[in-house]
């Protein structure tokens, strides 16, 4: 299998990203944007065509004079994305413009370890290949629910992923698929997904707070993910809310995640059910034998006062941490995402009220705090975007 083609200079890279983000364009329009003469542009486009990265898309309407040819990304370009969560795996294939062509999702316990979970993801990708969506992929972006060394393409001491520490995810999948692969934290990919096709398309500086089994924050600065020196930027789940708070999976006390991660919600729900404070949760416990964050959402939606109180309390803690982040970072948008975001508007209202009360008006005056609208597609869209950024660069 031929290794993936890449642009050979900045002009070519710029043309590819432009065609990805803006769709097919006439040669005349492309020349205007990249400031190349007609003959230089033709040389670059010929080279990209030889590489199989762009193709002709017919003739444009006349701008007066000869009709300019339309150029588009090669229709055979494909990117794959794996969004590995704590309890699920999503696999998708996109075209060069990052349109999702196929997307499959399955329950999957990340604690089975790297080889088993990655095999499952590769199986799902094989299913999409069997459906005729691609013959080869030009790159694959992978998100995992824990801290990642982006440079090394592997998770590093991830708290909720036993068996994954320093597993060479990038190299293992790259070998299997014969294409470039990049690995990042799932939260960063969700933020990239929002930039690509979500609420953040026109925003350059934003925070995406994911509340699921864990709690993390994707930081977008000037349209790009900010990862920090070693890749752990945005790991807000372990910011301390209270010295005397509950014990966290990380070994410390009083972390945000120990108050409002998936495990914390399940713990509070069980306590509420057993103490008799919540008739709804008690009924759900009787029926299912166990309780999860989803049950809290169900009970809260049914008007159970104790479940609503749990959600409000969690929102207050998230808001407390977020107010500090907003003062520090001054984002243009805050997006709340992840399974617990399914708790919906009760949660959002509480977070908003704390952030607006505690941050200075200059920081919150024009600050929308919203729920993600991409649901399950954010992570895979972000994965495709991440690897396309890499493939479409010199």
Q: What DSSP line would sit under 302-353, residue for residue?
A: TT-HHHHHHHHHHHHHHHHHHHHHHHHH--SEEEEESGGGGGTHHHHHHHHH
d(CA 387, CA 394): 13
The whole-angstrom separation of Cα 383 and Cα 79 is: 9
Question: Among the candidate windows 45-53, 238-246, 319-327, 370-378, which touches Zn ion by CB under 5 A?
Answer: 238-246
Cβ nearer to Zn ion, comparing 120 with 253: 253
- Does residue 241 interact with Zn ion by CB under 5 A? no
Specify the stretch interacting with Zn ion by CB under 5 A; choose among 20-28, 104-112, 165-173, 254-262.
254-262
Q: What residues form DSSP beta bridges with 92?
A: 81, 103
Hey, what are 29's tokens?
């329009």
In the complex with Zn ion, the residue whose CB is nearer, 255 or 281, is: 255
Is 248 a residue that touches Zn ion (CB under 5 A)?
Answer: yes
Sign of CA dihedral 38, 40, 46, 48: negative
Name residue, tokens 């803006």.
22
- Tell me 87's DSSP state: S
Residue 317 in the binding site for Zn ion (CB under 5 A): no
Is residue 25 at the binding interface for Zn ion, with CB under 5 A as the rule?
Answer: no
Q: Residue 136: is it exposed, middle or buried by C-beta count within 10 angstroms (0-12/13-18/19+)?
A: middle
Question: Of the ranges 34-42, 143-151, 243-251, 382-390, which one interacts with Zn ion (CB under 5 A)?
Answer: 243-251
For residue 236, state whether it binds Zn ion (rule: CB under 5 A): no
CA-CA-CA-CA torsion for 261, 264, 269, 274, nearest 10 degrees?
170
d(CA 205, CA 225): 9
Residue 250 touching Zn ion (CB under 5 A): yes
Region near Zn ion per CB under 5 A, out of 10-18, 144-152, 241-249, 353-361: 241-249
Residue 213 CB, shortest distance to Zn ion, in Å, is: 13
Per CB under 5 A, the segment of 133-141, 218-226, 246-254, 342-350 that binds Zn ion is 246-254
Backbone angles phi, psi at 225, to 5 degrees: -65, 135
Q: What is the nearest approach in angstroms of Zn ion to the Cβ of residue 261?
A: 9
Q: Which is nearer to Zn ion, 112 or 252 (CB)?
A: 252
Number of residues that bind Zn ion (CB under 5 A): 5
- Token code pair at residue 363: 């920081």
Q: Which is nearer to Zn ion, 60 or 250 (CB)?
A: 250
Q: How far is the CB of 263 from Zn ion (least distance, A)?
A: 11
Please give the angle made by the CA atoms of 253, 255 and 258, to the nearest 5 degrees.
Answer: 85
d(CA 336, CA 344): 9
**186 vs 389, beta carbon nearer Zn ion:** 186
Residue number with CB closer to Zn ion (136 or 253): 253
Cα dihedral 226, 228, 230, 236 in deg (nearest 10):
-90
State the Cα torsion 352-353-354-359 to the nearest 10°: 80
Minimum distance of Zn ion from residue 183's CB (angstroms): 23
The distance of closest approach from Cβ of residue 371 to Zn ion in the complex, given in angstroms and rounded to an integer, is 25
Q: Does 238 bind Zn ion (CB under 5 A)?
A: yes
Q: Applying CB under 5 A, which part among 186-194, 250-258, 293-301, 368-376 lies near Zn ion?
A: 250-258
Closest CB to Zn ion among 10 and 165?
165
Footprint of Zn ion (CB under 5 A) = 238, 248, 250, 252, 255
């Amino acid at each position: 299998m031929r290794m993936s083609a890449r642009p050979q200079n900045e002009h070519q890279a710029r043309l590819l990203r432009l065609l990805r983000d803006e769709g097919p364009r006439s040669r005349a329009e492309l020349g205007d944007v990249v400031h190349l003469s007609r003959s230089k542009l033709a040389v670059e486009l010929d080279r990209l065509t030889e590489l199989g990265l762009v193709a002709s898309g017919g003739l444009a309407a006349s701008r007066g004079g000869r009709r300019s040819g339309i150029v588009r990304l090669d229709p055979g370009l494909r990117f794959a994305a794996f969004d590995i969560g704590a309890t699920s795996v999503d696999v998708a294939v996109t075209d060069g413009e990052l349109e999702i062509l196929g997307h499959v999702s399955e329950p999957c316990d990340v604690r089975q370890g790297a080889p088993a979970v990655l095999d499952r993801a590769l199986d799902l990708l094989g299913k999409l290949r069997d459906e005729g969506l691609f013959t080869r992929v030009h790159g694959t972006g992978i998100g995992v629910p824990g801290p990642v060394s982006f440079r090394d393409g592997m998770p590093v001491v991830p708290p909720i992923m036993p068996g994954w520490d320093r597993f060479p995810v990038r190299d293992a999948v790259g070998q299997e698929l014969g294409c470039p692969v990049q690995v990042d934290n799932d939260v960063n990919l969700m933020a990239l997904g929002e930039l690509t096709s979500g609420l953040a398309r026109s925003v350059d500086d934003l925070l995406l707070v994911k509340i699921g089994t864990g709690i993390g924050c994707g930081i977008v600065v000037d349209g790009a993910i900010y990862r920090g020196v070693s890749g752990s930027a945005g790991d807000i789940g372990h910011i301390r809310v209270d010295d005397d708070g509950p014990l966290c999976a990380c070994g410390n006390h009083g972390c945000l995640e120990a108050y409002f991660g998936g495990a914390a919600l399940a713990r509070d729900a069980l306590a509420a059910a057993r103490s008799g404070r919540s008739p709804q949760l008690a009924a759900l416990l009787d029926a299912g034998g166990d309780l999860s964050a989803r049950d809290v959402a169900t009970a809260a939606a049914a008007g159970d006062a104790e479940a609503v109180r749990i959600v409000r309390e969690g929102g207050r803690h998230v808001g407390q941490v977020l107010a500090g982040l907003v003062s520090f970072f001054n984002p243009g948008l805050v997006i709340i995402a992840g399974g617990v975001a399914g708790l919906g508007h009760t949660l959002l209202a509480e977070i908003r009220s704390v952030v607006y009360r505690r941050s200075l008006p200059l920081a919150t005056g024009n600050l929308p705090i919203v729920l993600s609208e991409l649901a399950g597609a954010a992570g895979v869209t972000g994965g495709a975007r991440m690897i396309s950024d890499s493939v479409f660069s010199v």
